[in-house]
Each structure stands twice: as C-alpha cells, then as structure tokens.
Structure 1
Amino acid sequence: MMKINAKNLPKKEDDLLQFLVDYFPGKDIRIVEQDDNYIDVSLSNHGSSDYYIDPNILEGLQWWDQSILIEEIPNQFRNLVKYQLSLNDNWTIYSWSLWLEQRFLENDIPNEIIILHIDDHTDCMSPLLFKEGNVFINPFNNEEVNLFNPTTVKQAIENGVISIGSFMTLFMHSMPRIQFRHLMPKHRLSNAHVSGKVNREFLSDNTIPPYQERPLLSFSPSGGIKSNVEYSVFTEIDDFLKDISDTAAILLHVDMDYFNNRFDGDSDWRSHAFNHDPSAELVYKNIEQVFSAIEKSNIAKRIENYTVALSPGFFPAEFWNESISIINRILIENHEYY
C-alpha cells in the first residue's frame, strides 16, 4: 500500500489512472481509498499474460520454468556459469551491486567503470527513489538503497522503484567516473542521444510525502557541461569494442531486445510505422556475430560482470530458447576451462 499526495494529480478518473500507471511502471494498480488530499493505492505484479503482449509468452515461460506464474515474471533471474540471466533487465543493477560489494570487501573499489550496454534503449529514466541528504531512499520501506548493499537493491527492484527503464540512473549517480558505451540498432540512431556528457541532476517530485527529489540524467554534447559520466553511441560491434581504457573496470549488459524488439512494450505495436522485427534467421545470426565478437576481442578477459536479459513484452518469447542456446555455446560450452 502506498499513500500519495492527490493535490497536484489529475482529477478525471481516466487521467488519474494513466498517471498512476506511468508513475508506478510495471505494477498493477488499484485505488483503495481517496479524498481531496491523499490517495491510497495497492500495487502488485500483473497476473495476466495480456500485460506482456506477446502471444507466445506462456511458451517462453514453460521453457524458463514450468511452474512459473505470470505474476512472478518481474522477480526471475538466475546465475549461470559466466553470466546472470534474467527476464526483466532491471536485475542487471543487482548483479552490479553484488560485484561492487565484493570489490568493497577486497578494498578495491574501481576509480573508473566502463559500461558496455547492448540494448534498444538507454534505460536512463528516473527511478522512484528519493534524495535525502547524500543517499537515496526507497519510499516503500523508507530505507536507503545502497549499491554496496545488494539486499537494498533487490528490495528496490521487487518494489518496482528501480524499473526496467530506470536501472542505469542510480548506478550513474552513485559511481565517481563512468564511460557509458551504447551499442544500439541502426534504426535508433536518428533519435538517439548525442555522444557526449551525461549530467547528474534531480527531478522535483512531491507525489509521495515527505519526499521531494528523484535522481535524473540529462544528455549533452561534449563540452556543454562538466561531468564524469561520458556517453558514446555505436551501431557497429567492432567500433563498440575498440579504444577501451586499459585500466577501467568493464561491465557488460545485453538486453535481447537489441536483436529484435517486435513489441517494444506496446499493445499497439502493430500500428507502429516501423517495428524492429527481423526474422529468426537474422536474429540468431546477429546473436552469433555479436557474442563471438565480444569473446574474440582483446577485452573479453577483462569483463568483470556479464548480464543478459530476455525482456518479456519486448524480445519475442519464440526466440528465447534458441537464443540462449547460442549464447551458452559461445560463452560456456566452447571454453574447456568451464
């Protein structure tokens, strides 16, 4: 249950519900009680397969785990030999948090981090976290979310305050120096952020009392702002893997919607002017090329954390089984030392 400030919210029921859907992304929302000042809302995971748009979602879930329920999708991840595999990609930051915790225990926190982000999106929206002094608070339990404490990150993901579209933002606000390298499909380039600096800012938001500000990222061409976060855009895997610092720690995240994003989380996907929906043959060929290029690159042994997300409602479930088989063959089965 969450109490929110109703004073600045839409008065019309349809507009209010749309606001709540946008404000609590990924959650099924029910208004329990409301007056002129406050609204009490109940939040839960969606229990209907229709939410995930994909007509083959149940087939994909059978492959993942025959006993899984639809409402359990947001909490699914597993650690394989070389990488973390999750359904939703916000679990990426949980894996990064575990990695940071270990580096902290070893008294070896990196001064600079390179994020290799292979994705159809930037995932840099504002999470539902609130600034309080020098820390960020989870409004569901009023406790700090600390990247060096993975339990707090896990709770934030499960609460929905770190969503599939916002998991990058906390990380970039929390680390001193980051190079954010983004490999995107060519069709995204015309509307992409320009390579340059990323500024760590705050969004004014008094919807959940008593909090006031949420972390935000803004993108600017080089030279426009002073920042220790740099963003670079690529559309070719070879360029993406070139000219990487010899000293920075490297984290690699792959959202499978890079290879096919037929639905893009939108029930009206059929009406889109363009759908990123290559054939199965092209999807599997591209997966082979990208993962092979990474494994053959001179940075492969320097990657300290590796995550892959299947993204239900974005990357079609009909591709899950074969795609992961290809990835496992390249990352695990071809390496005798595993």
Structure 2
Amino acid sequence: MNASTPVVAVPRAAGADASAVMADLARIFHDRAPQLLGETARTFFVEMVSVHVARAPADADLTRAALDQLGIAAGEMANWRQIEDDPASGRRFALMLEHTHALEAWCRAPLLKDDGRPTLLLHIDAHDDLNGPSLLPDADRRKYLAPLGSDVMTLDDPKTVRRFATRGYIGIGGFIAPMIGSAAIDAMLHVPGPAQAGGRGAASLAIGLAPDSGFIRVEKQNCARPGIPYHRMNLAAALEVAHSFDGHILLDIDLDAFCNRYDTHGDSEVQDADALIAMAEAAQLLTASGLPRRAAVTTVALSPGFFPGSLWREALRFANAMRAQSIG
C-alpha cells in the first residue's frame, strides 16, 4: 500500500456486499479506483487508489514552498488550516491551503449569531466554487449525510465538518453549497479577479439548491425565480455594496483570484509581477474599505495547484495583513 493513498473504513450495512460498496465509492470519487483491503462483520476497509498516472506536480515550487513557508510536508497540505478567534472583538480569521476548510471556519463563528440579520458572502476567487459536494440532504437543513454509511455533518458542530472535509466529501469547490442549503447566507458577491473587472451588478443571477437531485447541487437561476442573489463584479464595486450592507459579512479570499496559473483552464500567461501588483492593489482596497475589521469571518486560501508556490512568500504577507486587520 502506498503511504500517500488514503484508506477508508465503510460501515457495513445489513446485506451489503463488497462489490456494491466498491461501485458506490467509484461513483462518488471519480478520480479513485477503490480496492478492497479487507473486511470484518461491521466494516469494509478500502484503499482509494488514484486513477491518474503518477507524475511530478505541475507546480514544481509547491512542495518546497509548503516546507519553507509553513513547515509542512506535501502529505499534510490537503488538511492544513489555522483558525483563530479574537476574544475581544469576536472576529475570526482562518488561513488554509485547500479552500474547502472555509466551511469549517464559518461554523459557529462567534459573531454569526442567529439574530435575524442577513449574511453576505463576499467571495474573491477565480472560481465561483458553487460545485455540488458528495453530500445528501437531511430533513434538518443544517445537517448533511455522508454518501456512504450513517455519518452526519452538522453546521452546528465544526468537528463534523472537519471530518467530512478530510474524507473528501466536501471538495475544494463544494464548500458554499451547504451554506446555501442551510440558509446560512442570504446573498453572494463574487469577485473573479482583476482580469474580469466587470461592473456593478454584472452577471446577476439567483442561486439555490436544485430540488430532488440526490446529492446537493447548486442551481443557477434567472433572478425572476426564487433563490439567493448572486452578483459578479469587480472588487471596488463589491466593497461599495458591502459597505452599505446591514448584516453579517463573510470575507472569503482565494489567492488564485490574482493568479490561477496551474488550473487546467487557468490564466497561465499572468506573470509574477502582474500577480503581485494585483494582490497589492486588492490589499490596499480592502484596507481602505475597513471590511476586514467589520467581517465576522475572514478566510484566506492559498490554493495549491492553482496559485503558484513561487508567490507563497508574498501571499503569506498578504494573508498576515488581512489577519492583522481582522483579529490583530
């Protein structure tokens, strides 16, 4: 068994056989080929082998950047995150590599109380991250079921969110859907990055969970239909909207908004110097707006495999500046 290949323990339902479990796992995890390692009366143990041919990462600087800048090995990258609360202000700041851990950071944040005030998500990211995770809905809209077994994730218990994230059920682009499904956010502003400037109100839609779709899935709708308002615009326009918003704010920043070089469909032509300028301009706008000092939660993701490792040193300076304003 390869040390980097995950092994999952699947509870054995009454009458379940190994072939059915293998088929379900293959359907849920498209990039893995399940191989049965063993079984007991209660559990199947399955090695989740990658279907991709082993090769060096596209970003040759990634492993060294993780070690040099954060002191973590390559095998720790997927699950690494830091979540900090300021006891004086109640604000929360979270730094992570994979963006999926933003959901954990939002759960039970001190300032996100059910006080009747709406919540706005300001999402600065090259992607909208409205993918559907491998989760099944529950009658309680703040709870979601694992695709296999009987495990339950509840947004009122961050430990369950952490467990589902590390097992791959949420995914790097599926962490917003549970917030929409639980009505934990009331509107979303999306800033795709400096290359997609846009204007105020550009690409306005409504978003909501698609009904009767099995796994939870976000459906983008025409604004005439019910849903949560979604607006794509540039950062200056988004900050203007946020300034006048009377409610809670989640400030969510993915560094790939400034350089999405290693995405399959990314902006590979963006040079380091241009990315650094875009990052500095964004930091200046955010600082001048005062939003990090107002947001209930500020999250920053480095997104390995999208944002280049060669810029992590500068990216961490950006993150530390946001942290200082949020909880410093």
Normalising by structure 1, report the TM-score.
Answer: 0.75
User: 1:249 is matched with which residue?
Assistant: 248
User: Structure 1 residues 136 and 278, CA, compared in 2 at 3 Å: closer, same or farther?
Assistant: same
**1:302-313 pair list within 5 angstroms:** 302-313=294-305
Deviations 1:251-279 (A, max 9, x none): 01111111111111x4xxxxx6x734422
Aligned residue among 73, 98, 101 for 1:69: 73
Match of 1:79 in 2: 83
Structure-2 change in CA distance of 1:246 and 1:289 (3 Å):
same
SS at match of 1:91: helix
| Residue 293 (structure 1) shift | 0.6
Match of 1:237 in 2: 235
Q: Judging changes above 3 Å, is the alpha-carbon distance between structure 1 residues 275 and 177 closer, same or farther for their aligned structure 2 residues?
A: closer
Match of 2:117 among 111, 116, 127: 111
Mapped pair 1:200 → 2:209: yes
**Local SS of the residue matching 2:259:** coil
Structure 1 residues 271-310: Cα deviation after superposition (integer angstroms, max 9, x where no partner): x6x7344222111111111122111115443211001011
More moved, 313-322 vs 175-184: 175-184
Counterpart residue identity of residue 150, structure 1: P
Give per-residue Cα distances to partners, 1:214-260, cap 9 Å, x unaligned: 1111112321x112x110001x2211111334421000111111111
- The 5 Å alignment of 1:1-338 reads 1=8, 2=10, 5=20, 20=26, 23-24=28-29, 29-32=33-36, 41-43=46-48, 50=55, 52-66=57-71, 68-79=72-83, 83-99=93-109, 102-103=110-111, 108-134=114-140, 135-139=143-147, 142-175=150-183, 177-185=185-193, 194-202=203-211, 204=213, 213-223=214-224, 225-227=225-227, 229-234=228-233, 236-244=234-242, 245-264=244-263, 266=264, 275-329=267-321, 331-332=323-324, 338=328
> Does the CA-based 8 Å contact 1:120-1:188 persist in structure 2?
no
Q: Over residues 134-191 of structure 1, what are the superposed CA-to-partner deviations in whole Å (9 max), with x where a residue is unaligned?
A: 331123552321111111111110111011011110111112551110001365689x
Instruction: Report how many residues are paired.
Output: 294
Of Structure 1 and Structure 2, the greater helix share is in 1
CA deviation after TM superposition for structure 1 residue 62, in Å: 1.3
The 8 Å contact of residues 257 and 315 in structure 1, kept in 2 or not, is answered as: yes
> 2: distance between equivalents of 1:215 and 1:163?
13
Change (3 A) 1:221 1:108: closer
Q: Does the 8 A contact of 2:292 with 2:298 survive in 1?
A: no
Deviation at 1:324, TM superposition (A): 1.3
Per-residue Cα deviation, 1:106-156 (whole angstroms, up to 9, x for no partner)? x64453110010001111111111123333112355232111111111111
For the residues of structure 2 that align with 1:60 and 1:275, how far apart are their CA atoms? 21
Which SS does the other structure have where 1:241 is aligned?
helix
* SS in structure 1 of the partner of residue 261 of structure 2: coil
Q: Which runs of 4+ in 1 moved over 6 A?
A: 6-9
Structure 2 vs 1, CA of residues 170 and 108 (structure 1 numbering), >3 Å: closer, same or farther? closer
CA–CA distance in 2 between the matches of 1:216 and 1:324? 33
Same amino acid, percent of matched pairs: 20
Asked if 2 retains the 8 angstrom alpha-carbon contact of 1:4 and 1:40, the reply is: no
Q: Following the alignment from structure 1 to structure 2, what is the Cα–Cα distance between the partners of residues 109 and 29? A: 46
Counterpart residue identity of residue 118, structure 2: E
The 3 A distance-change label for structure 1 pair 149 and 249 is same
CA distance 1:132–1:326, change in 2 (3 Å):
closer
The structure-2 alpha-carbon separation of the partners of 1:158 and 1:111, relative to structure 1 and needing over 3 Å to count, comes to same
Q: Cα–Cα, structure 1 residues 24 and 302, in superposed 2: closer, same or farther, change >3 Å?
A: same
In 2, the alpha carbon distance for the partners of 1:253 and 1:142 equals 31
Alpha-carbon separation, structure 2, partners of 1:6 and 1:137: 17
Residues in 2 aligned to 1:8 and 1:149: alpha-carbon distance in whole angstroms: 30
* C-alpha separation in 1, matches of 2:97 and 2:269: 19
Q: Which runs of no fewer than 5 residues in structure 1 stay unpaired?
A: 10-18, 34-38, 205-212, 267-271
- Per the alignment, in what secondary structure is the counterpart of residue 216 of structure 2? strand
Tell which deviates more after alignment, 153-162 or 292-301: 292-301
What do you get for the CA RMSD once the two structures are aligned? 3.4
Alignment deviations for residues 185-206 of structure 1 (CA, whole Å, 9 cap, x no partner): 365689xx931211222464xx
